[in-house]
Amino acid sequence: MNKLVCNGKVAVLISPEHGAGWYSWHQIEELLYDPSIVKWLESGEPDKIEHYLALKYPNEYFGGLEDLVIKWIDQGTEFQIREYDGAESIELKAETRWLTA
């Protein structure tokens, strides 16, 4: 899977605002890391993102696009996307307390 890595960190795309989630709605893992989307987001070119998504995934809904942000996570870190009412956050496995029955 293609990922943007910079200084040992991986760019992960999430939508932290309430409403439609990004990954939590489309569930396409490669779009969590898509280097093209990261670069267009960094350079303030949302029109390119919309055009790219329409061409590559014509039948998908991309809620959360307008609130998309980049989170940088250490390469190799296990995580999951948590969602509440459309607001996504990143939960790191190492920082989660698991209970044992």
Q: What is the pLDDT along the chain (101 residues), one digit of tens a residue?
A: 899 999 999 999 999 999 889 999 999 999 999 999 999 999 999 889 999 999 999 998 888 899 999 999 999 999 999 999 989 999 999 888 877 78
Q: What is the pLDDT at residue 73?
A: 97
**pLDDT for the residue 46:** 85
Range list of H helices, the chain: 23-26, 30-33, 35-42, 46-56
Q: Would you state the pLDDT for residue 55?
A: 95
Q: Are 13 and 3 in contact (CB under 8 A)?
A: no
Residue 88 · residue 20 · CB < 8 Å = no
Beta bridge partners of 92: 79
User: For residue 35, what pLDDT is reported?
Assistant: 97
